[in-house]
Amino acid sequence: MDQVGAARSEERSKRFLPRTRAHMALRGWSELDVLLVTGDAYVDHPSFGASAIGRLLEAQGLRVGMLDMPDAQPDGSGWTRLPAPKLWVGISAGTIDSMVTNYTAAKKKRRQDVYRPPGSPSRPNRATIAYTALARHHFPGVPIVVGGLEAGPRRLAYYDYWDDKIRRSILVDCKADLLVWGMGERSALAITKRLQNGAPLSGLGNTLELVRAAQLPGRARRAPSYEELTKDPQLLIELFNLVREENEPKSRPIAQAHGDRFVVQWPPLEPASQAEVDSWYELPYERDWHPDHDAAGGVAALEPVRFGVNTHRGCMADCTFCSITFHQGRTIQSRSAESVLREARAIAAHHDFRGTITDVGGPTANMWGLGCKLLEAGKPCLNRDCLSPDVCPALRIDSQSEGYRRLLALVRQTPKVKHAFVSSGVRYDMLFSQKAATRGQLLPLHEDLLRHHTSGRMKLAPEHASREVLAVMNKPGFEVYEAYEEAYKRDCAAMGKDQHLVNYFIVGHPGTGLKQAIELFETLLARNYSPEQVQEFIPLPMTRACVQYVAGKDPQTGQELYVPRSAKERKQQKALVRWKAPENRELVLEALRAAGREDLLERFVRQVPAAGPRAKPALARNSSSSKALGSAELAEVDDGDEAMDLDPCG
């Protein structure tokens, strides 16, 4: 690199949090207050949790270092890039659970990690545990706090899909001083303040700590112990319902025994105010990977989210397979329209911006501004689901939809913005009016989405066609999707738009037997539709579907469920969705014969030729900014080898 190039790189590095001692020197720092460790490459963007916490602490005047991919150097020298901090070390496996990042649902090793530069070694399995052990070695005596999508859902004893057994709370296994669960901004600030004042970390909301019996809070509610769960995994039902019931700010702490010690989960904090959420997303992000990663080709996961605007956090859908409810919460914490527009203007002023804002959305795009008086007050609502079996009357669907429509219009009118697309998942059952006079009619938002905010295709997640399976998933019936699909095609034709729907389906979910799998196949066959990608269910910790998978029954209804467990059965269900792939032909024929569905054989054989040589599938790339903070279900082609195209389940 010439002198001019070196000077430019140095100047650019100053705008990022330091990842080496040399970068600290550029800022005139000789020490750090907080050190953040992440398994991802350092990408300075609000969709990446470590960066979000780092920028927040920096805004408080703290000196924050970013130790990204500390395992990338085989000799372990990555851990010596930065010094021990004065206050605390924060550890996250990365944006996605490390086991899901490293392995497919079929437990095959992935060949690509989109959160690291091409060619970088895979992060360690159960990276939170591995990183904490090494942090103890390199930074002795410094408090260690773990968090993120690997640690949070594993805060209590949990079923581990990869080991096929009950494992201890990750806090017990990693031996950190504290675990932060859920979204961590306010917890990070509270931890910092406590340590600055020399106060203990005990009793903070949204945290988990390990204590002796004598230190248990008096009003704690006892959960089934790790030892009890190991002997009787059916107790996961009791644990799930207990966590669900004690999930609001005035809840009791939860105590779970692990031998002679207890992990104590403190209740969640009150929902964040709009002003807080605005301030978190308006920190001075570079929207780029650190210059140190240029030579290796950068970080693929940045591209789909780089020029997207995250409008809110939280999701009311409660899909059984998704962990967002227990991570971001059911309360929709929305940014103000003014904040979203400020970010749109900042994006438009970025030197690499070419006119397209790739997403204006969140975990479910059209939940921005959606409110419920109970949830907004941080109160529980356990009597019914927000959207199932139909939309709760307490939700202000029509007025909220109009608000989101106006927001999108304002974003697309931002100077230098040519397109403002919605690439996050859209909840199609929320596009119908709920008012008595217009019930069932499509809202004006639908037309605006088609006319202005769809870049050739809209992503929807019907997930299945079987009414039985959809009820188990807590999703609307397929007839709701069909009604929307019909309207979508009709309106696209009227507008002269050649736009398509991209459907996401899940196979192997509890409740899906051969009968239900063929029901989905028959629906797809009738449409002559065979998607390139299909999701294979992974029972992620602290989801309702995980309990369904282990217990063989639904924890809320008690319904007995069939669970497809064998690799062959799951592969067969996958083949029935990707039925046009020549390599799946024999599996489909075998399934149809086993089910006695000879009536479908002739139609299928006529449409699919004999299997030819198998072509290697292309690697997909992450195309959902919203899920980077939430669910970790991965779409997979037949060999399960592509990277992360996250299901916009809504």
Output the pLDDT for position 304: 93
Task: Indicate the range of 223-227, 445-449, 602-606 predicted with least confidence.
Answer: 602-606
State the pLDDT at residue 4. 59
Give the pLDDT of residue 114. 94
Q: What mean pLDDT do residues 27-45 have? A: 97
β-pair type (308-310, 359-361): parallel
With bands split at pLDDT 50, 70 and 90, how would you rate the model's confidence at 648? very low
Is 274 a domain residue? no
Specify if 555 maps to a domain. Answer: yes
How confident is the model at residue 2, as a pLDDT?
Answer: 65
Global confidence as pTM: 0.91
480: left (phi over 0), alpha (psi -120 to 50) or beta: alpha
**337 plus 455 within the same structural domain:** yes
Q: What is the pLDDT of residues 465-517, one digit of tens each?
A: 999 999 999 999 999 999 999 999 999 999 999 898 989 999 999 999 999 99
The contacts of residue 62 (CB under 8 Å, 6+ apart) are: 33, 34, 87, 192
- pLDDT, mean of residues 344-353: 96
- Do residues 69 and 181 share a domain? yes
215 found inside a domain: no
CATH code at 605?
3.80.30.20
Question: Is position 17 within any domain?
Answer: yes
pLDDT for 238 equals: 98
Strands 254-258, 261-265: pairing kind: antiparallel
* Domain co-membership, 172 together with 35: yes
Domain extent for 35: 12-206
Statement: residue 330 has pLDDT above 50: yes
**DSSP 8-state class, residue 79:** G
Q: pLDDT at position 358, please?
A: 96
User: What's the confidence (pLDDT) of residue 1?
Assistant: 56
Among the candidates 156, 183, 206, a domain finishes at: 206
CA 177 to chain centroid = 25
Q: Are residues 327 and 198 in the same domain?
A: no
Token duo for residue 447:
């037309």
Separation of alpha carbons 109 and 366, rounded Å: 35
pLDDT at 97 over 60: yes
The proportion of the chain whose per-residue pLDDT surpasses 90, expressed as a percent, equals: 78
Q: Is residue 251 part of a domain?
A: no
Of the listed ranges 18-32, 253-267, 374-388, the one predicted with least confidence: 374-388
The verdict on 435 and 326 lying in the same domain is yes
The structure tokens listed for 117 are 């530069």
Q: By the 8 A CB rule, do 254 and 156 touch?
A: yes
Q: Which residue, of 178, 206, 234, is where some domain finishes?
A: 206
User: Which domain-ending residue is among 167, 191, 206?
Assistant: 206
Looking at residue 434, its pLDDT comes to 86
Is pLDDT at 642 greater than 50 in this prediction? no
Residue 610: count of CB within 10 angstroms of its CB? 8
Paired tokens of 257: 């025994």
Q: Which residues contact 360 (CB under 8 A, 6 or more apart)?
A: 308, 309, 311, 340, 407, 408, 411, 420, 421, 422, 453
> Does 201 share its domain with 349?
no
How would residue 324 be classed by pLDDT, with cut points 50, 70 and 90?
confident
292 domain-assigned: no
In a domain, 18, yes or no: yes
| Higher per-residue pLDDT: 648 or 368 | 368
Same domain, 433 and 555: yes
Mean pLDDT of 343-364: 95
pLDDT in tens, 151-208: 999 999 999 999 999 999 999 999 999 999 999 999 999 999 999 999 999 999 999 9
- Contact by Cβ (8 Å): 630, 323: yes
Q: Are residues 326 and 455 in the same domain?
A: yes
β-strands 43-44, 288-289 pairing:
antiparallel
- Whether residue 333 sits in one domain with residue 197: no
DSSP states of 447-477: HHHHHHS-SSEEEEEEE-S-HHHHHHHT---
| pLDDT, mean over the chain | 90
Contacts of 81 (CB under 8 A, 6+ apart): 19, 20, 21, 67, 70
User: Which amino acid is it at 632?
Assistant: A
Q: Give Cα separations from 234 to 545, 552, 555 (angstroms).
A: 13, 9, 9
Verify that 189 and 316 share a domain, yes or no: no
Q: Tell me the mean pLDDT in the region 421-445.
A: 90
* Amino acid letter, residue 315: C
What distance in Å separates the CA atoms of residue 36 and residue 195, rounded to the nearest whole number? 16
On whether residue 268 sits in a domain, the answer given is no
Average pLDDT for 386-400: 84
What CATH number should be reported for the domain holding residue 56?
3.40.50
Sole residue written with tokens 């979000």: 52
Number of domains in the chain: 2
